[in-house]
């Protein structure tokens, strides 16, 4: 979030690259690959899932479409969720990214109304953009207009008191522990009304 004449955090995040499109999934190949990743034989995997060896073999070879019960058993046996079973990996490498940002060590992005601290800035192509912000604005007039951008946004008040202005709803006072989730294309602005500048956590879901 930023003033209208300043570069937005969304723009900064997108500069790191574009996302890949989701590919179609072959369930049989997916099950076989998951089994081989665990170095299980067909018999071992069938026993884990509580299925007959012949049934698992037919599923892997695309000779039958599993029932929902069989799909659930497969997921449980592989120790993954049903959605994960149907999600094709984007690459052959297992994704195990981790970014740890110590307090005060995020990347600063200061505007006339906010002091942003971008969290996990080293991770590229994130699905979400998390950042901590100090709300410097004390009046709606400090903005040149509504802040708006693509995506959805989660707001959590860490300290202080703010007034949360939105384009289509009544203005709301928010205090520590309060939160809001909203479509970020809707105009929205924050101002601090506590003695000290309020501090908030924002998480923006980046659009595809």
User: 137 with 41, same domain?
Assistant: no
User: 141 with 188, same domain?
Assistant: yes
User: Per-residue pLDDT averaged across 20-27, rounded?
Assistant: 60
Average of per-residue pLDDT values in the chain: 85
User: 141 with 168, same domain?
Assistant: yes
On whether residue 6 sits in a domain, the answer given is: no
Question: Binning pLDDT at 50, 70 and 90, where does residue 93 land?
Answer: low
On whether residue 8 sits in a domain, the answer given is: no
User: 135 with 186, same domain?
Assistant: yes
Whether residue 156 contacts residue 179, with contact meaning beta carbons closer than 8 Å, is answered with yes
The CATH number of residue 122's host domain is 2.60.120.10
In sequence order, what are the residues at sequence separation of 6 or more whose Cβ sits closer than 8 angstroms to the Cβ of residue 68?
Answer: none
Q: Look at the chain and report how many structural domains it folds into.
A: 2
Residue 73's closest CA among 94, 101, 45, 95?
45
User: Per-residue pLDDT averaged across 5-20, rounded?
Assistant: 50
User: 67 with 108, same domain?
Assistant: no
The CATH number of residue 54's host domain is 1.10.260.40
User: 106 with 201, same domain?
Assistant: yes
The residue that leads in pLDDT, 146 or 22, is 146
Domain that holds residue 57: 27-85
On whether residue 19 sits in a domain, the answer given is: no
Q: How far is CA 109 from CA 32, 88, 102, 133, in A?
A: 46, 36, 17, 9
CA distance 70 to 60: 13
User: 103 with 201, same domain?
Assistant: yes
Whether residue 191 contacts residue 138, with contact meaning beta carbons closer than 8 Å, is answered with yes
Please, what is the end-to-end C-alpha distance for the chain in angstroms?
A: 18
User: 184 with 106, same domain?
Assistant: yes
User: 75 with 102, same domain?
Assistant: no
CA distance 31 to 62: 11
Tell whether the model's pLDDT for residue 68 goes beyond 60. Answer: yes
Task: Report pTM.
Answer: 0.59
For residue range 106-158, list pLDDT tens digits in order: 999 888 899 999 999 888 878 889 999 999 999 999 999 999 888 899 999 99
User: Per-residue pLDDT averaged across 34-60, rounded?
Assistant: 92
- Confidence (pLDDT) at 11: 56
- Confidence (pLDDT) at 160: 97
CA distance 75 to 83: 9
């Amino acid at each position: 979030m930023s003033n209208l004449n300043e570069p937005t955090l969304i723009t900064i995040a997108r500069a790191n690259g574009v996302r890949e499109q989701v590919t179609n999934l072959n369930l049989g190949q997916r099950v076989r690959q998951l089994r081989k990743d665990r170095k299980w034989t067909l018999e071992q995997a069938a026993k884990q899932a509580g299925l007959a060896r012949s049934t698992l073999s037919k599923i892997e070879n695309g000779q039958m479409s599993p029932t929902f019960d069989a799909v659930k058993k497969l997921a449980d046996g592989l120790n993954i969720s049903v959605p994960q079973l149907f999600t094709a990996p984007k690459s052959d490498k297992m994704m195990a990214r981790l970014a740890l940002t110590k307090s005060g060590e995020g990347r600063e992005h200061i505007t006339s109304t906010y002091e942003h601290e971008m969290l996990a800035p080293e991770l590229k192509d994130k699905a979400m953009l998390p950042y901590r912000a100090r709300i410097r604005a004390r009046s709606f007039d400090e903005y040149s207009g509504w802040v708006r951008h693509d995506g959805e946004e989660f707001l959590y008040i860490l300290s202080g008191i703010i007034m949360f202005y939105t384009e289509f709803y009544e203005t709301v006072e928010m205090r520590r522990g309060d939160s809001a989730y909203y479509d970020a294309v809707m105009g929205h602005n924050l101002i601090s009304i506590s003695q000290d500048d309020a501090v908030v956590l924002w998480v923006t879901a980046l659009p595809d």
